[in-house]
Amino acid sequence: MNPLLGKNFIFLITANCLAFCGWVFRNYLINWYVLEKTNSTLMVGLIAAIPTFFVLFISPFGGQLADKFSRKKIFLIARIISFIFFFLVALFVHMNFYPILFIVLCFSGIGIAAGLEVSASRTLILDIAGFKYLTWGNSITEFLNSFLSTIGPLAIAVFFTSISNTEVFFSMPAVHLISAMAALMLFIYFKEAKNEDDNKEDGIDKSIKDGIIYSYKSVNIRILLILTFTILFWALSQPLIPKIARDVLGSGSSGYAILLSSEALGAMIGSIALPLFPKIFRNSKSIVVCILIYSIALFFFSLSTSIFLSVFLLAVGGFFHVIWFTVILILLQTLPDTNHKGRVVGLFFTVIQAYGLGFILGGLLGESIGIVPTIITASIVPIIVHFICYGVSKEFRVLKS
């Protein structure tokens, strides 16, 4: 039986995608809320980046846990913790009781939970789907994430014409509650191939240090992690998009929702294209080409004063960026040996937290040098890094999965 049609994958995908939907709501609601309260892109970037800094330091330990213990148990516990913190965020915003302070505190707890479970949740895709269906498993995940990113902000913009109606913030814990329930069902029904005792083999080093050394010694894993770090430059543009929607395009919060949804729509289409054409996309050349086209689209987006052109450019960027992201992740899931998969994936999600620094830098640069120079910088640097890595390593040039 195709494992993608089984209940275990359905429970996993439901838990993952609804949790991601909560993050989509968070990005739209909290970013706009902070901008309206502070009128500062730097504050938008700082607050949006809080969870990522905790994930940065916690995810290596999460990867170690995923190699040592029950992944479904880690997954369930983290989902419950996330629900609690998102509920507290919504509650304090709704009560208007030091909302910015409690957003900061709760985002810290959310980041810790995310760092502990991210390796387990991604490795569970391989555990359930198997290598044969791994591309489809990841692509389905990204497709549904992109679909929810497309309709999420639009749904909020349609049903809540103003986010001053703070009841809308309870949409975040609502979807996380359903996510936790799906994680519970997975915990009950999924029989893991290895239990906690099976993972404690004598003579096998499960330390974080060993995972780092292993990743560094593998040329392709090392380069893939370097390329992953360029997510920082994607993030430079993110805290600027609400300001572009409000001040450049004059489209308000509804326009911001449309811009976010257009990028997600492109990503949704890209998630369909990847498994349909794996021979085209699952290689190092595709990674470089995708980041090149994405960066070109982002460059022209920075110059656009038309919301229609901006929507199109963000959709094109979303298409190629999700392929870039998913191909790197697939390669990092398949290249390591069995004893290092969790820690390598954990390092991937550690490095990718560079986007938290990108949020802060984007907000800071947007206020100091301006929106257009900031986004042009975010367009050019990733191209340079990818071309250097592709040029210097023959082993990477022939990499495919």
Residues 35-89: tens digit of each pLDDT: 888 888 778 878 877 887 787 778 777 777 777 778 888 889 999 999 999 999 9
C-alpha 195/C-alpha 259 separation (Å) is: 45
- Burial of 279-307, coded b for 16+ CB within 10 Å and e otherwise, reads eebbbbebbbbbbbbbbbbbbbbbebeeb
Q: What is the CATH code of the structural domain delimited by 3-190+215-397?
A: 1.20.1250.20
For 223-265, write each residue's pLDDT tens digit.
Answer: 999 999 999 888 888 878 888 888 888 877 778 778 878 888 8
Q: How far apart are CA 150 and CA 33, in angstroms?
A: 20
CA distance linking residue 71 with residue 348, whole number of Å: 17
pLDDT digits (tens, 9 = 90+) for 314-342: 999 999 999 999 899 888 888 887 777 77
Q: d(Cα 325, Cα 323) in Å, to the nearest integer?
A: 5
| Cβ-proximal residues to 112 (8 Å cutoff; 6+ apart), any chain | 54, 58, 81
Instruction: With cut-offs at 50, 70 and 90, classify the pLDDT of residue 289.
Output: very high
Query: Residue 48: what pLDDT?
Result: 79
Q: Please report, for residues 42, 136, 196, 326, 377, the alpha-carbon distance to residue 303 in angstroms, rounded to integers and kept in the order given.
A: 21, 36, 54, 28, 13
Give the lowest-confidence range in 99-108, 181-190, 236-245, 302-311. Answer: 236-245
Do 78 and 113 contact (CB within 8 A), yes or no? Answer: yes
Confidence at 288, pLDDT banded by 50, 70, 90: very high
Amino acid letter for position 85: F
* 201-218 mean pLDDT: 72
Nearest by Cα to 385 from 301, 315, 287, 299: 287
pLDDT score of 56: 73
Sorted by where each begins, the domain ranges of the chain are 3-190+215-397
C-beta separation of 340 from 67 below 8 A: yes
What pLDDT is recorded for position 159? Answer: 60
In 366-388, which positions are buried (b, 16+ CB within 10 angstroms) versus exposed (e)? Answer: bbeeebeebbbbbbeebbebbee
pLDDT at site 85: 93
Handedness of CA 35, 40, 45, 51 (dihedral sign): negative
Which comes out higher in pLDDT, residue 202 or 42? 42
Among candidate residues 176, 182, 193, the one with its CA nearest the CA of residue 123: 193
Percent of the chain with pLDDT over 70: 92
Flag whether pLDDT at 196 surpasses 50. no
> pLDDT-based confidence at 160, cuts 50/70/90?
low
Could you give the C-alpha distances from 367 to 183, 191, 372, in angstroms and in order?
42, 52, 11
Contact by Cβ (8 Å): 291, 230: yes
Q: Of 293, 280, 294, 290, nearest to 324 (Cα)?
A: 290
Give the DSSP H/E element, type plus range, for residue 233: helix 231-237
